[in-house]
Amino acid sequence: MTSLVFLLVYVVLVAAAAYIVGAIRRMMTPTADFTSLKTVTFGDEAAVRPDRAASVISVLVIFLIWGAFTGSKWVPIHVPGPFMGETAFSYVAQSPSGETAEGRVTVLVTEAGAEAEPPEVAPTSGFVQNDSAVTAAWRSVLISAQRNDGEDARIISVEGRPIQPGETVSVPDGTVTMTNRGSLNFQPGKGLQMEPIWMPPPEAVVTRFVDIAQNGFQNTPLWSHLGWSIWRVFAGFLLGSLVGIPLGYAMGLSGWVRGWFDPIVEFMRPVPPLALIPLVIIWFGIWETGKIVLLFLAALWVMTIAARAGVSGVNLAKVHAAYSLGANKRQILRHVILPNSLPEVFTGARVAMGVCWGTVVAAELVAAQKGAGMMIIAASKFQQTDIVLMGIVLIGLIGFGIDILMRIAENILVPWKGRG
């Protein structure tokens, strides 16, 4: 139910931002480019261009939500946090003789990790003694309230509501559950914010990033971890391309080679590289050779299929034209088939890079001494969620950066893509 409400709030945020940005734009001078003069835009795919203002606001909203749910100091608004401070609830105990009396339990809820003494409590007149306890936010505390209330005293109600073992009663700033042995367990209100060990606030991740960038992680600099991952990807990708591209060309140019390798390629292509990890470990061990072989296999089939498609995609009229102009087979391969296949090869390279980057992180999760994947799996074993988050963000940024570099290279090297 709560999550539905938050989904709704998110949708409202998206719509409200659109409305506000739209209103601001209407106040400014209107542009009169071709698209803005179109009257039919709904259903016209060409008129739908990503609104960069929406992208910026979207990223800001992610940080806003992240901060709001983690109590970040960077964000002005927060969802209700866990209860902290002193609170109390009353209970009624019954002695074996049928006598009843009321006592109070005072609980001090501290910030996570802080140490504190239980608060002092005033003595009472009846046989029931007041109690006190101390706990940290999000943690519950067991209060053996009846233990100092005389022989076999039994708690019968909390805050005026009857309670049985196993039952839970709401009290101010939390809930009280009776255990099977008749003790009380106080759980201070958790609010909607997340505990730092589940989801640290953004500033904790940034602080950790600065710390690890300066001091390294497990005696290895951060750049070395990332550098190893990137190096493995490039080595595997290069080897895969060196074998895959010629193989793809051979498959595109010879029926026999095509027939020979078709079953192998078509079988290996849908096998996820991650499924090969166990076999690769058995054959090549868990260190560098194994990882490079795995990435080689991840890139190989993608590049083979891309090169094959590039050759098959050549317009026959172009090959005919080249023959009619007197070119021989070698010249046709060099001047027609190769350049014609380059756009496809580049598309394949982008896919292969993405697959390799995903595979290297997964392979490092399994076993590695250095690497981005190793960093996050090692951190997760120590509940260092901030390092895990930092690692995920860095892995995402590097993957994104690789793709952007490939696109830039594509625009420079094959400007004729899609213009044949």
Partner 1 sequence: MDGLQIDNISMRFDLPNGKHVQALENVSLSLEKGEILSVLGPSGCGKSTLLNILAGFLAQTSGQVLMNGKAISGPGPERGMVFQKGALFEWMNVRRNVDFGPRMKGMPEVERNTIVENLLDTVGLRDFKEKAVYELSGGMQQRVALARCLANDPDVILMDEPLGALDALTREKMQGLILKLWKETGKTVILITHSVEEALLLGERLLVMAPRPGRIHKEYRLPFAERAVGADLREVKKSPGFAETRDEILSMIWEMEEEIMGGAEA
**Binding partner 1 by CB under 8 A: which of 13, 243, 257, 327?**
327
How many residues of this chain bind partner 1 (CB under 8 A)?
A: 23
CA dihedral 419, 411, 344, 322 (to 10 degrees): 50
**Binding partner 1 by CB under 8 A: which of 1, 46, 317, 412?**
317
Residues 98-157 that bind partner 1 (CB under 8 A): none
| d(C-alpha 371, C-alpha 14), whole Å | 37
Q: Any contact of residue 336 with partner 1 (CB under 8 A)?
A: yes
Q: Any contact of residue 281 with partner 1 (CB under 8 A)?
A: no
Nearest approach in angstroms of CB 409 to partner 1 is 16
**Binding partner 1 by CB under 8 A: which of 322, 392, 393, 398?**
322
Residue 30, CB-side half-sphere exposure with 13 Å CA sphere: 8
Judged by CB under 8 A, the stretch of 10-18, 104-112, 155-163, 338-346 that binds partner 1 is: 338-346
Q: Any contact of residue 333 with partner 1 (CB under 8 A)?
A: no
CA dihedral 379, 382, 385, 389 (to 10 degrees): 10
Nearest approach in angstroms of CB 352 to partner 1 is 22
Closest CA to 176 of 80, 87, 85: 87
Q: Which is nearer to partner 1, 78 or 417 (CB)?
A: 417
Rounded alpha-carbon distances, angstroms, from residue 27 to 16, 36, 49, 51, 184 = 17, 15, 21, 17, 62
Residue 253, CB-side half-sphere exposure with 13 Å CA sphere: 16
Q: Any contact of residue 325 with partner 1 (CB under 8 A)?
A: yes
| d(C-alpha 229, C-alpha 365), whole Å | 11
Q: Any contact of residue 285 with partner 1 (CB under 8 A)?
A: no
Q: Which is nearer to partner 1, 21 or 332 (CB)?
A: 332
The β-bridge partners of 174 are 171, 188
Q: Any contact of residue 412 with partner 1 (CB under 8 A)?
A: no
Count of beta carbons in the 10 Å neighbourhood of residue 411? 11
Copy the structure tokens of residue 316. 């026959």
Q: Any contact of residue 415 with partner 1 (CB under 8 A)?
A: yes
Is there a contact between 176 and 160 (Cβ–Cβ < 8 Å)?
Answer: no
Nearest approach in angstroms of CB 417 to partner 1 is 9
Q: Any contact of residue 326 with partner 1 (CB under 8 A)?
A: yes
Judged by CB under 8 A, the stretch of 8-16, 52-60, 273-281, 326-334 that binds partner 1 is: 326-334
Q: Are strands 184-188 and 141-143 parallel, antiparallel or unpaired?
A: antiparallel
Q: Any contact of residue 340 with partner 1 (CB under 8 A)?
A: yes
Q: Any contact of residue 320 with partner 1 (CB under 8 A)?
A: yes
Judged by CB under 8 A, the stretch of 12-20, 21-29, 49-57, 335-343 that binds partner 1 is: 335-343
Query: What is the three-class DSSP state of 52?
Result: helix
User: What residue ranges bind partner 1 (CB under 8 A)?
Assistant: 315, 317-318, 320-328, 331, 335-336, 339-340, 342, 414-416, 419-420
